[in-house]
Chain A
Amino acid sequence: MDAASMNASGAREGKRLAPGRVAVYALLVLVALYYLAPLYVMLATSVKSLDQIRSGNLLDLPLAPTGAAWGKAWDGACTGVRCEGLRPYFWNSVKMVIPAVLISSLIGSLNGYVLAHWRFRGSNAVFTALMVGCFIPFQVVILPMARLLGTAELANTTGGLVLVHIIYGIAFTTLFFRNYYVSVPDELVNAARIDGAGFFTIYRRIIFPLSLPIFMVCFIWQFTQIWNDFLFGVVFGGSDAQPVTVALNNLVNTSTGVTEYNVNMAAAIIAALPTLAVYIAAGKYFVRGLTAGAVKG
């Protein structure tokens, strides 16, 4: 709805802006600055020298911008005991996120297809039971999971993390696809069945080609969730498969030596870049995923 358009038929005809409108814009811009300020501070700090950081203040422009902190954050800074920067952990995250996103989305798609178009007795109950997985705090499953991964020798491996992310991501991906496929008319599927098409043929020929938008939403949602995850990473990642979020936390919270705020901020931006890039490139799908995830209730 759009109240202003109606209220302001008079005001809009006059060319000058009404004071109320000016206030609205001013407020919106102010709020925008509030959201942008931390990003600016991070960027500016990351290219400042430590001297300028100590002598100047947060909002100062960098006097002599340098990429040194970025280099150090990428492959020199110490996170805990190792001093290789974020690089190895960044690649750990990449190796973890790609298979986890692809597999959980594909499974979710097939599940959603079944739950939307191949209902059987009890399938709604199955759906409801699966959705509980969206709501539980993961703390309530990590202790047995740690034990299981340990026994299966998957603890501290990227494979173990991929597995965990798939298992606990399926509830969301199934929800996304099921809600999307429900809007595909049953007649389409039934007509294909009468023509003799089977379960997988219908999926391949009819459903899958319609699924691009929802795959985008699902990929982006899962990518953001898994890349940004900390709990599973810190519990199951150990030191070898540690994802970038855990390394960043170790870097920022290392209390030995001088805190290099510029390195910390460069590292924070590096850890945020992939999801930020996805947001900038495909914000539309990102928002759709968020709202779809929110209506899950």
Chain B
Amino acid sequence: MSVSTVPRARAPAAEPTPAPPSASRLAALADTWLPRLVLSPTVVASLVFVYGFIGLTAWLSLTDSRMMPNFEYSGFGQYATLFELDRWWTAARNLGIFGGLFILACLSIGLGIAILLDQRIRHEGALRAIYLYPMALSFIVTGAAWKWILNPGLGLEKMMHDWGFGHFSFDWLVDPDMSIYTVVIAGVWQSSGFVMALFLAGLRGVDDAIIKAAMVDGASLPAIYRRIVIPSLRPVFFSVLLVLSHIAIKSFDLVMALTAGGPGTSSDVPAIFMYQFSFTRGRLGLGAASAMMMLATVLAVLVPLMYLETKGERNGRR
């Protein structure tokens, strides 16, 4: 990194100094180098453990490593294998379904509650605390709880039967066609309150004067939200999308606890695929290739979002 290239600051210290350095000169020297010294372990760690390790994983994905890593280049065979595996495509499709529904539901529920909470609600603090507490829980805890609630024999289904809805059936947890949707249900429960908090913070930042002016002009409340308030939340939408898509792509623990990718491999996601092929099936090369695909997905989603966001900021700046 550019830590070592500091010509401007180094100049005074590099001058030939005939006299022995005075105390103040030493202090100046310390002030020049101490900040870099303090930062350097982090920079080195980042170079090695983030960039270096990504490079190693990329390299590993180009070898035919199985149980043990070997570093002999063998081309793109792992990627070819990956793209021929039905299981990989199941995982990819599930990520699409889960990600899409999860983001959509969190956005609409989060924004909906935020708008309702913004109507001068009594006990707003308490309600907010209730909506947000799932965010403090581990996805494993959330998964365990919903696994029990959605239990086909004793959970929600039995409750509905007890209440007289004899034909109610809810067995998504064991239905290969529906299992991925249970992950959506649990994920939305956990994360929508967080989206609410972000939108509420955004709503509090909207200029009252604009709203008042629209009121005077006779605009209805829904129209004001639709035309003025919600469009002005554009930056919040970007952060929310950023965070939610990130959660979705990385999601591993929730699926592990709730369905463990099952029944069969029906609710597999790339993170689980990566874990199982790398650590339980001894296919390191394939695991590395799937990890690289996850990184590519994150980049494919985040880079355009961040580009749009900064572009929006630039246009919006007055």
Chain A: residues with CB nearer than 8 A to chain B? 1-8, 21, 24-25, 27-28, 31-32, 34-36, 38-39, 41-42, 45, 53-54, 56-59, 107, 110-111, 113-115, 118, 120-123, 125-126, 129-130, 132-133, 135-145, 147, 167-168, 170-171, 174, 193, 196, 198-200, 224, 227-228, 230-231, 234-235, 245, 248-249, 252-253, 261, 264-265, 267-269, 271-272, 275-276, 278-279, 283, 286-287, 290-291, 293-295, 297
Contact = CB atoms under 8 A, between A and B. Distances in A.
A230 B9 contact: no
Contacts of B178: none
5 contacts: A114-B38, A249-B256, A268-B140, A287-B197, A297-B238
Given A224-B136, A230-B252, A276-B137, A3 B211 contact: yes
Contacts of A3: 118-119, 211, 221, 224-225, 229
B80 interface: no
A295 B113 CA distance: 20
A77 to B, nearest CB: 13
Contact of B302 (A42, A53, A135, A252): A135
B97 interface: no
Interface in B198-242: 198, 201, 203-208, 211-212, 215, 221, 224-225, 229, 238-240, 242
Contact of B53 (A107, A144, A271, A286): A144
A76 to B, nearest CB: 18
A137 B131 contact: no
B144 A28 contact: no
B135 interface: yes
A200 B34 contact: yes
B57 A143 contact: yes
B271 interface: yes
B155 A230 contact: no
Nearest to A227: B138
Interface string B47-84: 00111111011001000000001000000000000000
A121 B39 contact: no
A159 to B, nearest CB: 16
B130 A140 contact: no
A129 B189 contact: no
A248 B50 contact: no
Given A35-B189, A249-B257, A58 B130 contact: no
B13 interface: no
A136 B274 CA distance: 15
Nearest to B59: A144
A129 B3 CA distance: 12
Given A137-B291, A140-B54, A279-B133, A291 B198 contact: yes
Contacts of B279: 235
Contact of B154 (A129, A138, A142, A261): A261
B159 A58 contact: yes
Contacts of A231: 252-253, 271, 275
B31 A2 contact: no
A56 B120 CA distance: 40
Interface stretch (B14-22, B85-93, B98-106, B292-300): B292-300
Interface of B: 1-3, 5-9, 24, 27, 30-31, 34-36, 38-39, 41-43, 45-46, 49-54, 56-57, 60, 69, 113, 116-121, 127, 129-149, 151, 154-156, 158-159, 162, 189, 193-194, 197-198, 201, 203-208, 211-212, 215, 221, 224-225, 229, 238-240, 242-243, 246, 249-250, 252-253, 256-257, 260, 271, 274-275, 278-279, 284, 287-288, 290-292, 294-295, 298, 302, 305-306, 309
A291 B148 contact: no
A171 B154 contact: no
A248 B143 CA distance: 10
Contacts of A228: 137-140
A83 B279 CA distance: 24
Given A121-B9, A227-B138, A228-B140, 18 more contacts: A1-B118, A1-B211, A4-B118, A6-B215, A28-B121, A58-B155, A110-B38, A122-B1, A129-B46, A132-B46, A140-B57, A141-B50, A143-B287, A199-B31, A230-B139, A264-B144, A267-B144, A268-B145
